[in-house]
């Protein structure tokens, strides 16, 4: 993704968006934030790390998200996704061209919150580990964050038990352009960014995000019965 302008974060309220019924949206989503399973096989490091907030390179890192594009843009598209959610991957791929166009301009910023709703429900905990890796990249090489996000969504496990190792995750991130050293690899293996991932997940739940994917425009949920319809509604919302 080309370099983008950066500055302080701002938002403005918006009204009058078309909001589809929650039941319809659930047909094109997965996961929820309630009653997580307790059989996760991952461990969490005792010494936690947090990505440095601020504007660096191609992204702006906040205390629970990453912003692509000018954070001062008058419009804000906020995407909530889980790396292990196939619907999130489908919507992400569908929106890719628009996100790139918005991020290169000054009218629309795209904020991405990566949640861990599905990690505790699978033996491989791909959501948990992938979100930790993205937090790590946001900290040590934020310019590579969009490409690593693409790579991780593309390598979703096909089953709840398919194993993707930390070595494979790191290799995918490096292939996408992230500059990771062995200390960074150790941080991933120990899930050193779990506090930041938990903060993102908690922020999403507090905002009312109980399934994913979800897209909000200037503080209002926008969604349709299909991902294509959702994208059309988002486009309408940012051009009103």
- Where helices occur in 27-165 by DSSP H, the ranges are 86-104, 126-140, 145-154
- The model's confidence at residue 120, banded by pLDDT at 50, 70 and 90, is confident
How far is it, in rounded angstroms, from Cα 237 to Cα 96? 17
pLDDT at 229 over 80: yes
In a domain, 1, yes or no: no
pLDDT at 141 over 50: yes
- State mean pLDDT over 180-209: 95
In a domain, 6, yes or no: no
CB 76 within 8 A of CB 11: yes
In a domain, 177, yes or no: yes
Q: Which residues pair with 112 in a beta bridge?
A: 66, 79
* CATH number, domain with residue 202: 3.40.30.10
In the chain, the percentage of residues whose pLDDT exceeds 70 is 79
In a domain, 4, yes or no: no
In a domain, 52, yes or no: yes
- State mean pLDDT over 229-239: 96
Q: What is the pLDDT of residues 12-63, one digit of tens each?
A: 333 333 333 333 333 356 766 644 333 333 344 347 888 888 665 568 999 9
In a domain, 14, yes or no: no
Q: Name which of 237, 239, 211, 228 is nearest 22 in CA terms.
A: 211
CB 162 within 8 A of CB 136: no
pTM greater than 0.85 (yes/no): no
pLDDT on residue 58: 66
In a domain, 12, yes or no: no
In a domain, 51, yes or no: yes
Domain membership of residue 45 as a residue range: 22-34+41-239
pLDDT at 6 over 70: no
How far is it, in rounded angstroms, from Cα 158 to Cα 222? 28
In the chain, the number of structural domains is 1
Mean predicted lDDT score pLDDT of the chain: 83
CB 85 within 8 A of CB 212: yes
How far is it, in rounded angstroms, from Cα 193 to Cα 174? 18
Q: Name which of 193, 148, 198 is nearest 52 in CA terms.
A: 193
């Amino acid at each position: 993704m080309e370099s983008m302008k950066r500055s302080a974060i701002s938002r403005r309220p918006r009204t009058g968006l078309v909001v589809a019924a929650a039941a319809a949206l659930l047909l094109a989503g997965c996961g929820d934030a309630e009653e997580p399973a307790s059989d996760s096989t991952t461990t969490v490091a005792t010494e936690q790390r947090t990505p440095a907030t601020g504007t660096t390179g191609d992204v702006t890192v906040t205390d629970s998200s990453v912003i692509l594009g000018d954070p001062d843009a008058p419009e804000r598209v906020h995407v909530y996704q889980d790396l292990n959610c196939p619907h999130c991957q489908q919507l992400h791929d569908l929106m890719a061209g628009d996100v790139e166009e918005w991020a290169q301009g000054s009218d629309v910023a795209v904020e991405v919150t990566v949640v861990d709703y599905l990690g505790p429900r699978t033996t491989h905990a791909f959501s948990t580990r992938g979100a930790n890796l993205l937090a790590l990249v946001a900290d040590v090489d934020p310019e590579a964050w969009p490409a690593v996000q693409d790579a991780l969504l593309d390598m979703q496990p096909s089953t709840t038990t398919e194993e993707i190792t930390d070595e494979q995750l790191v290799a995918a991130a490096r292939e996408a352009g992230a500059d990771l050293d062995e200390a960074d690899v150790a941080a991933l293996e120990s899930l050193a960014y779990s506090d930041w991932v938990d903060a993102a997940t908690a922020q999403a739940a507090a905002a009312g995000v109980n399934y994913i994917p979800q897209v909000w425009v200037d503080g209002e949920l926008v969604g349709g019965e299909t991902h294509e319809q959702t994208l059309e509604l988002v486009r309408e919302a940012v051009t009103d």
